[in-house]
């Protein structure tokens, strides 16, 4: 039964304000992703299906409430998409709240109680990982996305309860087999992150051969292909600190310290290679399936024609609320989402291995969320027109009514937000010129960059950083929030920052020269020619000859004008 309730209703035990009999009612649910209901009905419900009303529909997890968004009416039908009431969390703002060293359950409770308006949700989690999170001017929905990234887990949305659990789903012994209950299947392979030979880079640019120059700098996978998949990745080793390898007098046991770094780097690199030595695969299938209860359920899929025989977990489904059956299942070890792609732009990206999982830490902001929404809306309403000497991609028909326009001709590609006759402010012309007001790039490879100001870091993308490597991929210099640091071939280095000023260190981290205000200090000094003091006294080398033979040499003191003193 599909029922309609008032905007503020939260108890759905009754039949509500209206029992609906739509022409179509499909629920889509993704692991940590979309959860919505698509409705198509006749015009008899025109006065009832209004924005913000709540539709309660049957799902494999029981009845769930969905809030109506925009409603589209044609001459004979009504179409709408209603999102699960979980998305109401985007309407509750957290001004400034700090989660400090809490498990996931306490973090959710803390954030849920910190909204400026009283939150209607309850929260729960069984994840015991300890983490921290400073939440400033984010909605409860945005805060939950950060919690998912930092604490991990799977989002469970059940009526007005929000849960994050370490594992979801069941194993009910479900098998899907071609020619039995499998109608259609599509397999998509993603080789973008495959690596079989990895050069890991650790703290301060350390490589695996730091203690033994004859050792290999690579970690390799047992899985190899006809062509190489070789990469280099920098790993975080902030948990290994020098203080743990110093004696009571503060002297560093360099061998023990480097051994710890190399062991940690080897472990992280091997885990990364083990995970990424095979391509990620996504499957999309249509099948008649029973005993599937929710995303996360384990199923066995067999298709002899494609050579598929795997046991995996469901990551998304579509469910027909009227017929009471699944119409589509998705499963695999990756799910490429446009929202994931967009969220990486203007983000702090750091390769980390935590609990044998490769994770990406990202910082989301409101601008990117709006960009994601705009892209999805554009993709759902795009029209391609061949217009003689050009191709137009528009967001509305007829083309004269379009706002967003992409034009392609023999001059290049142009982008306009003011219609087909408006101003094309961005363009990629045929002569290899990319003309745009703003460009967000994750990876940029270039031989020469020209410009006025290069801005790295800010409150948007955290701390800027520059790393310089030589032809052997050895880190020789870096510029970050700690200042400028340049490395010598013998392990020594020079530092410039607002804490030490300018200082040089030997390979054992001993300070050997430094500048303190207007004074220059050094432990040893070699002067090849002369020294002048206060522009009055000069130290110069002196050689004394007797009958043409060198009798003595040493240092003489003279005044600046040349007189001997």
pLDDT by 10-residue block (mean), the chain, 565 residues: 95 94 94 94 92 95 94 91 96 94 94 95 94 93 94 94 88 62 64 90 91 93 88 88 87 91 92 84 60 74 63 83 86 44 32 34 44 51 71 79 86 86 79 68 62 63 72 80 86 86 86 82 79 78 78 76 56
**3 state SS of 243:** helix
* Number of residues that make up the chain: 565
Summarize the chain as % helix, strand, coil (round to 5). 15, 45, 40
- The CATH architecture one would assign to domain 171-191+279-332 is Roll (2.30)
Q: What is the per-residue pLDDT for 287?
A: 55
**C-alpha to C-alpha distance for 508 and 495, rounded to whole angstroms:** 14
**C-alpha to C-alpha distance for 302 and 311, rounded to whole angstroms:** 9
Residue 427: both structure tokens together: 């363009």
**C-alpha to C-alpha distance for 255 and 212, rounded to whole angstroms:** 11
Q: What is the per-residue pLDDT for 37?
A: 97
Phi, psi for 401 (deg, rounded to 5): -90, 0
In CATH, the number for domain 92-167 is 3.55.50
Check: pTM over 0.75? Answer yes or no. no
Q: Which has the closest alpha carbon to 407: 386, 436, 433, 434?
A: 386
Phi, psi for 266 (deg, rounded to 5): -65, -45
Residue 344: both structure tokens together: 């990486």
Q: What is the per-residue pLDDT for 563?
A: 55
Q: Compute the C-alpha angle 64/66/69, nearest 5°.
A: 175
**3 state SS of 144:** helix
* Beta carbons within 8 Å of 130's beta carbon, 6+ residues apart: 101, 102, 103
**3 state SS of 105:** helix
């Amino acid at each position: 039964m599909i029922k309609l309730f008032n905007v503020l209703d939260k108890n759905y035990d009754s039949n509500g304000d209206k029992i609906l009999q739509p022409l179509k009612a499909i629920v889509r649910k993704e692991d940590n992703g979309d959860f919505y209901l698509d409705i198509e009905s006749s015009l008899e419900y025109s006065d009832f299906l209004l924005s913000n009303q709540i539709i309660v529909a049957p799902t494999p997890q029981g009845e769930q409430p969905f809030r109506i968004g925009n409603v589209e009416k044609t001459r004979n039908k009504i179409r709408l998409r209603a999102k699960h009431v979980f998305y109401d969390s985007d309407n509750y703002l957290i001004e400034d709240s700090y989660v400090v060293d809490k498990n996931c359950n306490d973090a959710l409770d803390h954030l849920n109680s910190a909204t400026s308006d009283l939150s209607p949700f309850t929260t729960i989690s069984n994840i015991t990982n300890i983490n921290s999170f400073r939440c400033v001017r984010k909605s409860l929905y945005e805060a939950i996305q950060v919690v998912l990234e930092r604490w991990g887990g799977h989002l469970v949305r059940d009526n007005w309860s929000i849960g994050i659990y370490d594992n979801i789903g069941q194993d009910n012994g479900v098998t899907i087999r071609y020619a039995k209950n499998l109608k259609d299947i599509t397999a998509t392979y993603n080789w973008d992150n495959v690596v079989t030979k990895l050069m890991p880079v650790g703290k301060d640019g350390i490589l695996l051969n730091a203690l033994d120059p004859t050792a290999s700098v690579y970690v390799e996978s047992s899985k190899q292909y006809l062509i190489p998949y070789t990469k280099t990745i920098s790993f975080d080793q902030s948990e290994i600190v020098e203080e743990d390898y110093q004696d009571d007098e503060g002297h560093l046991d360099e061998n023990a310290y480097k051994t710890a770094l190399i062991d940690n780097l080897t472990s992280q690199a091997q885990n990364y290679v083990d995970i990424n030595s095979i391509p990620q695969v996504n499957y999309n299938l249509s099948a008649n399936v029973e005993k599937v209860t929710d995303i996360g359920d384990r199923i066995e899929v067999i298709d002899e024609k494609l050579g598929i025989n795997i046991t995996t977990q469901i990551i998304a489904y579509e469910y027909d609320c009227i017929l009471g059956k699944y119409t589509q299942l998705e499963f695999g070890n990756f799910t490429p989402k446009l929202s994931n792609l967009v969220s990486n732009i203007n983000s702090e990206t750091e390769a980390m291995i935590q609990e044998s999982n490769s994770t990406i830490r990202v910082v989301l902001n409101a601008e990117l969320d709006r960009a994601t929404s705009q892209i999805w809306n554009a993709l759902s309403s795009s029209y391609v027109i061949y217009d003689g000497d050009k191709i137009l991609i528009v967001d509305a028909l007829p083309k004269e009514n379009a706002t967003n326009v992409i034009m392609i001709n023999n001059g290049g590609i142009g982008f306009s937000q003011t219609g087909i006759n408006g101003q094309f402010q961005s363009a990629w012309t045929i002569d290899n010129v990319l003309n745009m007001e703003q460009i967000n790039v994750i990876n940029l490879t270039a031989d020469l960059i020209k410009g006025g100001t290069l801005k790295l870091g800010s409150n948007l993308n955290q701390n800027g950083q520059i790393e310089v490597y030589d032809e052997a991929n050895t880190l020789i210099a870096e510029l970050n929030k700690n200042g400028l640091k340049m490395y010598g071939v013998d392990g020594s280095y020079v530092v410039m920052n607002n804490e030490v000023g300018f200082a040089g260190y030997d390979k054992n981290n001993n300070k050997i020269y430094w500048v303190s205000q207007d004074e220059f200090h050094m432990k040893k000094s070699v002067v090849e020619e002369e020294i002048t003091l206060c522009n009055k006294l000069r130290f110069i080398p002196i050689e004394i000859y007797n009958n043409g033979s060198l009798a003595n040499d040493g240092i003489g003191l003279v005044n600046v004008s040349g007189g001997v003193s």
